[in-house]
Structure 1
């Protein structure tokens, strides 16, 4: 009876997840780069062409820059916000909801909002958005082209993503801080430890599992980012904001190069696996 109950889910996942992954992997080894299917096997030729493609090389660099800035910033900002809320401040619920509110907004909406904010303006209109704020505050040296500048386009996208997910990281860290027994902190204070030593030697080690989990989640989000980039910048000037997922969409559904698009999808799957598999192995070992 238990097997009968779980069989529909097993079959559904097997077909629509692992079956489609296998089909995508097979297509990536074929010559299907036109509207009409062509299942002639050509080995790793699509992958060779992919890594020789200048746009894909730029995408990998953008992904690396975005991931490093996004993950580290979310961890630091989330931890600082969690420590701030853990001080038993007044109206904590208001602040907590305020910090978590961006997470309730979709990436598409966030992209449109930050596209307006980072609009660099023009000669006729002058500075608008964030640049106008800097101008009013006398911080003209901070004004820039944001997503229209090839040098910092991907950083502008990262700022929007950081704004949206810092509150989520804060919630993880706040739950971890509230789960640490107060007796540990009091005992450390009695032994002569100051606040910095308590944080470094007591709190920080106990928060490591949460940090590890947050890195996995944030890294997974950064590797497959798509909708925020599409809504906010697109590929950007000189592909400065381009990412592999957007390249895969253009290649597959606009260029009809299905085998080439499948190879990009498999590369993305492998990159995400580099994060997920170590996490799963660590989890299984702890359970054992």
Structure 2
């Protein structure tokens, strides 16, 4: 039987549709080329001014350019890792590493503890909490140089006991002369821990605790209210709710804060340099200060470059595992 009511027509794309597809392909190609052209200057700049300079610094660290005359001649002589060996035999550099370790521990845990306390207080929503939130955040907007200068005035010991200054003057005025101390010029130590680092850590904590507060405040306000209500229904006290509910949910915030603070502390320079410098017997010295003095005051470019490469590796050890973990989660 013939089917007269249905005639099958070959399905060919409409000419108008073909033209639209072609225009779409051309537009996508132009967009792709435009994107590449926009990115190329940034990629070239990063390649030259970041990775190029890192490579050059490493090359200098393996040379014998430890005087201006050798640098001026431009004759490169490869000495391997001799400069790194010299650093680890240098008593000042070993002292700097201990100072950096103790400063990092005090700075990191002090900022996290104070930031968490401030976040909990602000999160209670009491009257005027927004004003205090702004006040707590304000130090983060101040440059480290300014912070170091101001806290240098505060902890300036003056001449004890006849002519105290700073906080010692306050202690004397309220009858607590026995508590007067040399603060950041003190040479007292407990093993490798120089007590003069305590005022430096206090200044750094004051500056960054507001930033940590902002991180924790965002985390606290991101906790679903349903979880809080469920914990209350189960009879959890405020203390148990804090330790069993809030703290576990704030773990990613804590990890992020530790990474950021660790990165800042490992390359700290301006705060310490403005506040104390190296201090007597290098009690507040840091690798960054030693690098600055070696490179720009002693013209020992190879040793200064070796310190900068070691600092870069220390920061990489902190940052790279965190970045790898974050990318895997995404």
TM-score of the pair, normalised by structure 1: 0.97
Instruction: Give the secondary structure class of the aligned counterpart of 2:76.
Output: coil
Instruction: Give the secondary structure class of the aligned counterpart of 1:25.
Output: helix
* Cα distance in 2, alignment partners of residues 86 and 143 from structure 1: 37
Residue of structure 2 equivalent to 1:226: 269
Q: Which ranges of structure 2 fall in alignment gaps of 5 or more residues?
A: 1-32, 189-194
Residue of structure 2 equivalent to 1:272: 315
Superposed, 1:81-96 pairs within 5 Å as: 81-96=118-133
Residue of structure 2 equivalent to 1:244: 287
Show CA shifts across 1:7-44 (max 9, x none): 00000001000110011111111111111324100111
Q: CA deviation at 1:273?
A: 0.8
Residue of structure 2 equivalent to 1:63: 100
Show CA shifts across 1:44-99 (max 9, x none): 10000011001100000000010000000000000000000011111111101111
Instruction: Give the secondary structure class of the aligned counterpart of 1:31.
Output: coil
Kept in 1, the 8 Å contact 2:185–2:280? The answer is yes
Residue of structure 1 equivalent to 2:39: 6
1:155 to 195, 198, 221: 198
Residue of structure 2 equivalent to 1:135: 172
Superposed, 1:47-196 pairs within 5 Å as: 47-123=84-160, 126-151=163-188, 152-196=195-239
* Cα distance in 2, alignment partners of residues 172 and 126 from structure 1: 43
> Number of residue pairs matched?
287
Q: Which has the larger radius of gyration?
A: 2
Show CA shifts across 1:97-156 (max 9, x none): 111111111111111111111111215852221112223344334321001102322211
Show CA shifts across 1:165-191 (max 9, x none): 111111110111011111111110101
Residue of structure 1 equivalent to 2:21: none
* Cα distance in 1, alignment partners of residues 108 and 101 from structure 2: 11
* Cα distance in 1, alignment partners of residues 173 and 206 from structure 2: 23
- Which stretches of structure 1, 4 residues or more, deviate above 3 A after TM superposition? 136-141
Instruction: Give the secondary structure class of the aligned counterpart of 1:159.
Output: helix
Kept in 1, the 8 Å contact 2:160–2:180? The answer is no
1:217 aligns with 2:260: yes
Residue of structure 2 equivalent to 1:30: 63
* Cα distance in 2, alignment partners of residues 135 and 187 from structure 1: 54
2:251 to 208, 216, 232: 208
* Cα distance in 1, alignment partners of residues 82 and 250 from structure 2: 45
Residue of structure 1 equivalent to 2:8: none
> CA 1:256/1:88 → structure 2, altered by over 3 Å: closer, same or farther?
same
Residue of structure 1 equivalent to 2:52: 19
* Cα distance in 2, alignment partners of residues 268 and 201 from structure 1: 38
Kept in 1, the 8 Å contact 2:122–2:130? The answer is no
